[in-house]
Amino acid sequence: MSKINTGYSLNECPPMKETIIYSVQQIIVAVFNVIPVPLLIGAGIGLSQSEITILVAGCLLVTGIATILQTIGVGPAGARLPIVLECSFVFVAPGIALGSKYGLNVYTGACLIGSIITLVLWTLFHKTLTKMFKPYITGSVVMVLGISLCSTGISYCAGGSGAADFGDPINLLLAAGTIVIMLVLNRYGKGFLSKASALIAIVIMSAISALFGKLDLSSIANEKWFRIPEPLHFGIKFDLGPIVTISILCFIALVELMGDQASAAMLSEQRLPSAKESKGGIMAQGISSIISSMFNMVPTISGSANIGLCGITGVTSRYVVSLAGVVIAICSICPKLCAIFSVIPYPILGGVALTAFGTILVSGMNVIRNSELTSRETTIVGVSLAVGIGFSMVPDSLAAFPFWASSLLSGVPGTALTAIVLSLLLKENKTDDTRKGDEK
């Protein structure tokens, strides 16, 4: 059996030329993941194009700053793991609902207070909360996250939701070609070819897509060279109802971060994150969410697709990811640079994303498998997965419930909340402890 390329490790910094190339892969995936957040919220609440541009600039600036804070760290803040922190999709639906009803200034206030409350609670009660979120719970969250993201990956492969050519066989062939090139380079490529497989696949398939008229470069020429992000452009206002809703979602979203930190540590060094890394990552997420609120944006969360990309390429160096953060921050003041990344056809990005999401799914499975489950924990994992996945597959089943309830019961929040409640209700007994001891 041939040896699998492990790439560059967590604290290893590649030569600058290679660091730039590997970071481009991270930038492309991150930009495609975060750009839809301000676009969807802005369109959903009826903002003008110029106002949406302000949201986009703030989103990119925050993603860049947050990623640098998470990977390099400042004092106790930062997990110092290869994790991109980005504006979260979890808050898009609440942003549209609350922004339409109360105004974007009220939603901004809710995001700010919710981020502060979550940061304070997790900082003061970190040990207690960490004990509550056992590895099998975070593993379940990561697994559900991977499953839920696969639908996004497939949507990208088909051309992007709402596209006129959605489902066009050419789109699916472009996505398949991207996946095949990546897999071949990862399996048989040596050194650079293996580590830069995603970027090579994107370049080759983008050139091929041009032959089918799927590559449109006009947006690059139309973008401006400079744009300054504007803090609190829409003002800020506080309302108790939205604050409670967003605070709960912020708290639950951090379970996703803990799961992604487990994935990043597992992919980097085949271990779970230390208490210091976990607490530092939570602090970085809380601080960056507060900054994000000040720039009219939603709270941040870890970029699962970027973590999956680390697993695909074997390049888990946090310095590569931190450079990606620097470039993304620069993109916030240089729209033309951002446009270069955004012209890549959705099907090609879908090929990369789908592979990365699959890696995240398997990573969650590995965390669960390494937890040495007892019958009690197997029950908790099984029921929580069923609830989160089930409701996300049949969202209409929650149509009679208020918005906040449906948000907490499906997908990642539903899995996390169910697992937490069951772990509190189903107490461990001596039989469970004995079985774990025998297995060890």
pLDDT for 27 equals 85
Given a cut of 70, whether residue 437 has pLDDT beyond it is: no
Which of 9, 83, 75, 439 has the alpha carbon at shortest distance from 256? Answer: 83
Overall average pLDDT of the 227-238 stretch: 84
> Does position 438 have pLDDT exceeding 70, yes or no?
no
pLDDT at 46: 73
Mean pLDDT for the stretch of residues 162-173? 83
Q: Tell me what pLDDT residue 115 has.
A: 92
Q: What is the pLDDT of residues 10-53, one digit of tens each?
A: 888 888 888 888 888 888 778 777 877 787 677 667 777 677 77
| Percent of the chain's residues with pLDDT above 70 | 90
> Which has the minimum average pLDDT: 254-258, 425-429, 431-435, 436-440?
436-440
**Res. 5: pLDDT tops 50:** no
Q: Can you tell me the mean pLDDT for 146-171?
A: 80
* pLDDT exceeds 60 at position 3: no
- Asked if residue 138 has pLDDT above 80, the reply is no
How would residue 206 be classed by pLDDT, with cut points 50, 70 and 90? confident
Q: How confident is the model at residue 383 (pLDDT cuts 50, 70, 90)?
A: very high
**183: its two tokens:** 């897999």
Q: Which of 126-130, 257-261, 380-384 has the highest mean pLDDT?
A: 380-384
pLDDT, average across residues 326-340? 79
What whole-number distance in Å separates Cα of residue 228 and Cα of residue 39?
Answer: 18
Question: pLDDT value at position 219?
Answer: 65
pLDDT at 433: 55
**Per residue, what are the HEC states of the chain?**
CCCCCCCCCCCCCCCHHHHHHHHHHHHHHHHHHHCHHHHHHHHHCCCCHHHHHHHHHHHHHHHHHHHHHHHCCECCECCCCCCCEEECHHHHHHHHHHHHHHCHHHHHHHHHHHHHHHHHHHHHCHHHHHHHCCHHHHHHHHHHHHHHHHHHHHHHHCCCCCCCCCCCHHHHHHHHHHHHHHHHHHHHCCCHHHHCHHHHHHHHHHHHHHHCCCCCCHHHHHCCCCCCCCCCCCCCCCCHHHHHHHHHHHHHHHHHHHHHHHHHHHHHHCCCCCHHHHHHHHHHHHHHHHHHHHCCCCCEEECHHHHHHHHHHCCCCHHHHHHHHHHHHHHCCCHHHHHHHHCCCHHHHHHHHHHHHHHHHHHHHHHHHCCCCCHHHHHHHHHHHHHHHHHHHCHHHHCCCCHHHHHHHCHHHHHHHHHHHHHHHCCCCHHHHHHHHHHC
pLDDT of amino acid 1: 30
Hey, which of 179-193, 276-290, 418-432 has the most confident mean pLDDT? Answer: 276-290
The two beta strands, 85-87 and 300-302, are antiparallel
Q: Note the pLDDT tens digit of each residue in 67-96.
A: 999 999 899 988 899 888 888 777 776 777
Per-residue model confidence (pLDDT) at position 435: 52
Inform me whether the pLDDT recorded for 377 exceeds 90. Answer: no
Residue 2 has pLDDT above 50, yes or no: no
Q: What is the pLDDT of residues 294-327, one digit of tens each?
A: 988 888 888 777 787 787 778 888 998 899 899 8
The values of phi and psi at residue 228, to 5°, are: -100, 120
Question: Chain-wide mean pLDDT for the chain?
Answer: 80
**What is residue 35's predicted lDDT score, i.e. its pLDDT?**
77
Is residue 436 pLDDT above 60, yes or no? no
